[in-house]
């Protein structure tokens, strides 16, 4: 199994990774060159995590076209974190 890789660049640069040898799709982890945001979309989770400025996060949380939830550094976000839709 290939290890996750972290890429750095502008948001528009992510599509360039489609041409990197051995890559399938876009990176799971990336941040802007100035480190103003970080995007994380692990393959084993059906969601993504975004970290950034308060303005960026508020913009995402207020966007009615995407489903968003605020989380803190200590919020559990693994497969056992959903206590509402528990599969029996």
Domain assignment present for residue 14? The answer is: yes
Reading phi first (left if > 0) and then psi (alpha if -120 to 50, else beta), residue 43 is in alpha
In a domain? residue 10: yes
Per-residue tens of pLDDT for the chain, all 88 residues: 355 566 666 666 666 666 666 666 667 777 877 888 888 887 777 788 899 999 999 999 999 999 998 988 888 887 777 777 776 5
- At 1 the pLDDT is 39
Q: Is residue 82 part of a domain?
A: no
Residue 51 pLDDT: 92
Q: What is the pLDDT of residue 5?
A: 62
38, part of any domain: yes
What does pTM read for this prediction? 0.64
Q: Is 55 a member of any domain?
A: yes
Quote the pLDDT of residue 83.
Answer: 76
Residue 79 belongs to some domain of the structure: no
- Residues 70 and 16: their CA atoms lie apart, in Å, by 30
How far apart (Å, rounded) are the C-alpha atoms in residues 9 and 32?
5
Domain housing 23: 6-61
52 belongs to a structural domain: yes
């Amino acid at each position: 199994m290939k290890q996750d890789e972290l890429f750095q660049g502008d948001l528009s640069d992510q599509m360039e990774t489609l041409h990197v040898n051995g890559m399938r799709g876009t990176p799971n982890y990336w941040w802007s060159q100035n480190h103003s945001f970080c995007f994380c979309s692990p393959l084993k989770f059906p969601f993504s995590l975004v970290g950034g400025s308060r303005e960026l996060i508020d913009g995402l949380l207020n966007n009615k076209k995407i489903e968003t939830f605020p989380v803190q550094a200590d919020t559990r976000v693994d497969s056992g974190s959903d206590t509402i839709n528990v599969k029996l």
